[in-house]
Amino acid sequence: MRRHRIEQRKDWQERAKALGFDYANIEDGSYWDETACWELTADEVDMLDATTAELERLCRLAVDHAVSHDLHEMLGLPGNMWDRVCDSWRRAEPSLYGRMDLRWDGASPPKLLEYNADTPTCLYEASVVQWEWLVTVRPGMDQFNSLHEALIATWPQFGAPKIHFGCMRGWLEDKGTIDYLRDTATQAGIDAPYIAIEDIGWDGRRFLDLVPRPMECVFKLYPWDWLMRDAFGANIARARTRWIEPAWRLALSSKGILALLWQMFPNHPNLLPAHRMPGRCAGPEIKKPLLGREGANITAPGIATSGLYGAEGYVYQQYSPLPCIDGRYPVFGSWIVGGKPHGLGIREDRTPITNDKSCFVPHFFRPRS
């Protein structure tokens, strides 16, 4: 595993625009960063694939255990949210995708930092954008990336001829991700209209779009914990609308799942010690809000970030600093689609905490001869 410094393409911005990658630049810097790339070996890709599949297996066992033993307090989920989680899990509602963030230095086994199982972003850049980079910059090489094909193949499992797609108005990255997912659904033969989350209506029995028509199935790039706190959240149990991601993914999005995983599978090579109470990791700890996002409200040795999260409680995970290479700290985001590993996206930051403005850096590997 090596990080290469390279020269970016002179026309990269025009290429990004042609792809519809409108958030390639974020505020005062480049979000998409092709001044560097990562080279993996085929064996390393195989290990990432196997690690991700193993962690997915453990995570599903943990959700089943949490539901069976009513561990909502461990996950920091109040009763109304927990009821939805349990009902969703018992119905075996299918899941589309998720992203596991891994700490990996190429020498020791990859370790799970957290599972973005409800509203993961970075999908379009991991799928289409870095593939376009590969075929133009590293022709003849390969990439851990079958995301596009897997998404198209997975949509039919929901059995819905029409799926509304929603996110909050004005969030550029979320809208870009939604538009990409709509495109993959359309390629799978599904009618995929867009609606802003703020425009979803309620007539006392059903959720409605702007026409107004009943919404039978909705993909929402909007967290379940926010949805359940909204005014119409109480109506979810009364309506027939199906939601993607399903509610049971909220159990995995709570960082309390890290403590449960460690409790169930202590000393597993792909897990870090984690507990709901501080001081139990036998060394430095990183404190994370259970339902936090984008690196907010994190406390670790020499590190403290601000934010609006934490009222729901915290998890304390053994602090295993990210490797620092060329002054950048990488996190390896391994993607699950339809319950199986299908791709890799690498984020980097100049600090040890990855946030919403951290750069996305492409990767490649040399195929076996």
Task: Supply φ then ψ for residue 286, to 5 degrees.
Answer: -110, 130
* Structure confidence at residue 29 (pLDDT): 65
How many residues does the structure list for the chain?
369
Q: How far is residue 95's CA from residue 325's CA, in Å, rounded to a whole number?
A: 35
Residues of the chain scoring pLDDT < 70: 27-29
* Structure confidence at residue 233 (pLDDT): 86
Q: Is the Cβ–Cβ distance between 163 and 169 less than 8 Å? A: no
Cβ burial, residue 368 (10 Å; 0-12/13-18/19+): exposed
pTM of the model: 0.96
Q: Is the Cβ–Cβ distance between 277 and 317 less than 8 Å? A: no
Closest CA to 356 of 295, 299, 305: 295
* Structure confidence at residue 357 (pLDDT): 87
Which residue in the block uniquely carries the two structure tokens 């033969």?
A: 189
| Single-letter residue type at 65 | H
